[in-house]
Structure 1
Amino acid sequence: MNEFRLLPRHAEGLVAESLADTRVVLVNGARQAGKSTLTRLAGKKQPDTIVRLLDDPATLRAAQEDPAGFVDRDSGLTIIDEIQLAPELLRPIKMTVDLDPMPGRFLLTGSSRVLTLRTLPDALPGRMEIIELWPFAQGEIDGQPDGFVDAAFRHGPDIDHSSTLRRRDYLERAVVGGFPEAVRRSPRRRSAFFDSYLQTLVERDVLQLAAIERHGEMLKLLALLAGRVGNLLVPATLAGQSGLSRTTVVRYIELLQSVFLIKSIPAWSPGPTFRAVGTPKLAFVDSGIAGHLLGQDAAHLDDPGGAAGPMLENFVAMEIARQLTWTQQRARMYHYRTKDKVEVDVVLETPDGRVVGVEVKAGATVRTEDLTGLRNLAQKLDDKFVAGYVLYTGKQTLPFGPKLRAVPMDALWRLAP
């Protein structure tokens, strides 16, 4: 069991920067990802800060009965935790910051994508900055720089990294995931946390967004989704396997994305003339949750019939997604798959069209055919292709031709930007 300690978050600097020049800052992300701790640390550095916890029933009633009075302050920072519980506060917040445009007036947290709620009033356009907070990245857990994305675009294929980790070490990290409570618990207690977390998410958070008639259907779909990690997200297929209607599956998937449990990775295409598949790919925001739903610990994942490949692909993709919330290099994450089933697990594209491709392999050996998708991508993009990496469980960086390298997986968090 890990000793409790506060770990520095990469997002802490982003919150401070945003409060210095923005009227309203929203820290949005999964429940139990550490939003409350982060915002309270930020509040201690601001003069005249008050904290309002909407999880407290009395505080929530006050917010709902008198929204304008609840946010009425002449100066200072107001932190409001779990703003999705009282979206009626957003309109008086807007009026307050319009009357006094000083930066750093409100710091909000949310555990659902509050800006997508149909009942939301117009949501502070131009007045609010949104910072996504994910569960811990591996570099935050280990005190490492988490600089792979910036390094890949800055140095191209010139990255050289070696590792002492083995495949089993990576699988252990994947089943722990990044939730602070999960990171510091023993395996048995971690399983209890995941059970409680999923029950709370379905019975409380999802119900706040929409009426769900049968909770069992949602939990059944979750288990099914865990078994399809890394596959294309096709509602019709899921409907056939679950016995639910396609409409219900689409609705449930939207809700699960809204509470930051799953993520849809969009498909990438270099243009309309290329034969790329446009279907998104499924990922779980936290690999520990996915492993728990599968009922597989690191030892079972490592068995010949285990799900090591899909789990490590999910693990890598979500580590990259975390990094994209703080990297200097702006980029978006996609996956790539042609109609001939040539694919690349992760495609990172900058606003000016430069691309880094990442393929994930659970093995400690890389074969030339493992780079088929990256070569296809490099051929289509020419000079716009910065580099292609196979992240694998071996220990050395290996060249596989111009701009192509196999690199140990822990380069994700050990490389400096």
Structure 2
Amino acid sequence: MTRQAALSDPSGFVDFPERMVIDGSQRAPELLLPIKSQVDADPRPGIYLLTGSSRQTRADYAERLVRGGYPEAVARTNARRRQRFFDSYVGDLINRDVMRLSEIERTAELRALIKLLAARSGQLFVVQALSRDLGLPGTTTARFLALLEEVFLVKRVPAWSKNIGNRAVRTPKTAFVDSGVAANLLGADARGLLRPGSAFGPLLEGFVLMELSRQTTWSDTLVELYHYRTKDKVEVDAILETRRGQVVGVEVKAASTVRPEDFRGLRHLAERVGPDFVAGLVLHTGTHTFSFGDRMLAVPVSALWETHP
């Protein structure tokens, strides 16, 4: 009955004065554009919480990655129409917004950087390596990244350090704000992402980073998003830190099987942080939550947007 009401009058259904939780939102894509109109009129974060089925498969995750989160893209069920939207979106950002912010002549190099960043979504932004691949001065590459952040195409995730003064100078990660845009730039479709050696893992990590980033904007607890990497290459994909110094570590695994060794970076972080370590989570593509010891949990990626009684 609720779904029928939503389909009969999508605009009226989402015109609600308080926070609205819509479970099984994938069954009513007609709601997405009315929700976008409401959010455009009232940009307060957290007005709508859209949730989906907890029985997600790897194929479901692949489809979510290539679909992205923009309502205009989600509403286009035809893959070719969605691709045209993504192409137009990136083209408009470059030709209109970036050019408005800063007159640049090397648009070809900027487009090449965008594709490189898509291929390395969720990975370290090493200016020297990217500049070498593009044949650009490091200052130009850094300036291009700043412009792409300014138009909300990519986001920089700073490195975490216990020494706050060191954070600004350590190598950040970058991720595309929308996984659908990144997948389209790579020419990746949902079926292709299921093949061995595909971009599924990097796209999933970037997706999780941006999902965490979005949720920090409406969380009642003020937290900052970081990543962690030591000189010995011990890594934690994401760190959420409160202003009191409490820390949650998050690892992303593009598989449904989790092993004790997947918690290596999180256990290292727990030892370093001490009593301020709240929890370590390995987000995986399976369907169940398991304990791997004190404050260590394996949790489905879908827990990021699901609600439970």
TM-score by length of 2: 0.84
Whichever residue aligns with residue 341 of structure 1, its letter is K
| Residue in structure 2 matched with residue 173 of structure 1 by the alignment | 64
Letter in 1 for 2:63: E
Q: Equivalent of 2:282, from 390, 401, 404?
A: 390
**2:116 counterpart of 1:224:** yes
Identity of aligned residues (%): 50
**Aligned ranges 1:27-38 → 2 under 5 Å:** 37-38=38-39
- The Cα of 1:345 is off from its aligned counterpart by 0.6
2:181 is aligned with 1:289: yes
CA distance, structure 1, for counterparts of residue 194 and residue 248 of structure 2 = 29
Deviations 1:316-374 (A, max 9, x none): 11111111111111111000111111111110000111111110000010111111110
Q: Distance in 1 between matches of 2:65 and 2:15?
A: 19
Greater RCO structure (CA 8 Å; 6+ sep): 1
Per-residue CA deviations over 1:83-132 (Å, capped at 9, x if unaligned) read: xxxxxxxxxxxxxxxxxxxxxxxxxx8xxxxxxxxxxxxxxxxxxxxx67
Moved over 3 A (4+): 3-10, 34-37, 272-275
Equivalent pair of 1:230/1:314 in contact (CA under 8 Å): yes
> What is the deviation of 1:382?
1.7
> Which residue identity is paired with 2:179?
S
The 5 A counterparts of 1:14-413 are 37-40=38-41, 42=42, 139-140=49-50, 142=51, 163-185=54-76, 186-271=78-163, 278-413=170-305
Q: Which has the higher helix share?
A: 2
Report the alpha carbon displacement of residue 270 of structure 1 after superposing the two structures with TM. Answer: 1.5
SS of alignment partner, residue 244 of structure 1: coil
Q: Residue 211 of structure 2 aligns to a residue in which SS? A: helix
1:406 CA drift (Å): 0.3
The alpha carbon displacement at 1:242 in A equals 1.1
Once the 2 structures are TM-superposed, how far is the Cα of residue 301 of structure 1 from its aligned partner? 1.4
CA gap 1:9/1:379 in 2 versus in 1, 3 angstroms? farther
Give the 3 Å change call, closer, same or farther, for CA 39–169 of structure 1 in structure 2: closer
Partner Cα distance (1:13, 1:236) in 2: 48
- Aligned partners of 1:377, 1:9: CA distance in 2, in Å? 44
* Structure 1 residue ranges without an equivalent (≥5): 15-31, 43-108, 110-130, 145-161
Change (3 A) 1:240 1:399: same
Which amino acid counterpart does residue 226 of structure 1 have in structure 2? A
Contact 2:45 2:218 in 1 (8 A): no
SS in 2 for 1:211: coil
> In 1, Cα distance between the equivalents of 2:15 and 2:259?
37
Deviation at 1:218, TM superposition (A): 1.2
Which is greater in Rg? 1
In 2: Cα distance, 1:333 partner to 1:273 partner: 16
| Contiguous gaps of at least 5 residues in structure 2 | 1-6, 20-32
The alignment's C-alpha RMSD in Å is 3.0
Higher mean C-alpha deviation, range 277-286 or range 390-399: 277-286
CA–CA distance in structure 1, aligned partners of residues 165 and 154 of structure 2: 31
Distance 1:285 1:273, change over 3 A: closer
TM-score (norm 1): 0.63
Contact 1:163 1:396 in 2 (8 A): no
Q: 1:203 to 1:284 in 2, by over 3 A?
A: same
Shift of 1:215: 1.9
Determine if contact 1:224/1:242 at 8 Å carries over to the other structure.
no
Q: C-alpha displacement at 1:273, in angstroms?
A: 11
Mapped partners of 1:399, 1:225: distance in 2: 35
